[in-house]
Amino acid sequence: MGLWDKLRKALGGSAPAKTQGDPNAVWLYLRCGRCGTAYRVRVDRRNDLSREDGPGEFLVRKQAMDNKCFQLMEVEAWFDANYQIVSSEVSVGELITEEEYKAAQPS
Ligand SMILES: [Zn+2]
């Protein structure tokens, strides 16, 4: 027992390092079809994805709203096993890439 304690101390404690960032987040980048605002919506890998039969591995259904004209958008997106979007349907708007989203942000 004493040996184990010594070992643990030597190894620098027992608490594992906290995971940095937001490892469960997958971001959907959207553009409002009414006012053109680009924004993003967080999808939680653990809570928002469901496994269903279809073009991809996981399906996510989300409602999203921009903060300019408050147009409600219905998003349905399929992800593959690597959380890449393989198919999507968006009402009143479109899915855009992270690059397009970043380009649309005021600097
Ligand atoms: Zn809008």
Alpha carbon of 32 to ligand 1 centroid (Å): 5
- Kindly list the distances between the CA atom of residue 12 and the CA atoms of 2, 15, 18, 59, 99, in Å, as whole numbers in the listed order: 16, 9, 14, 42, 41
pLDDT computed for residue 12 by the predictor: 63
Query: What pLDDT tens digit does each residue of the chain (107 aa) get?
Result: 677 777 677 766 554 445 458 999 999 999 999 999 999 999 999 999 999 999 999 999 999 999 999 999 999 999 999 999 999 999 999 999 999 999 999 87
Alpha carbon of 24 to ligand 1 centroid (Å): 27
Which residues have CB less than 5 Å away from ligand 1 (the ion)?
32, 34-35, 37, 66, 68-69, 71
Instruction: Report how far residue 85's alpha carbon sits from residue 79's, in angstroms, rounded to the nearest whole number.
Output: 4
The whole-model pTM stands at 0.76
Please, which residues have CB within 8 angstroms of residue 87's CB and are 6 or more apart in sequence?
Answer: 54, 55, 56, 77, 78
Alpha carbon of 13 to ligand 1 centroid (Å): 51
Instruction: Report how far residue 35's alpha carbon sits from residue 23's, in angstroms, rounded to the nearest whole number.
Output: 31
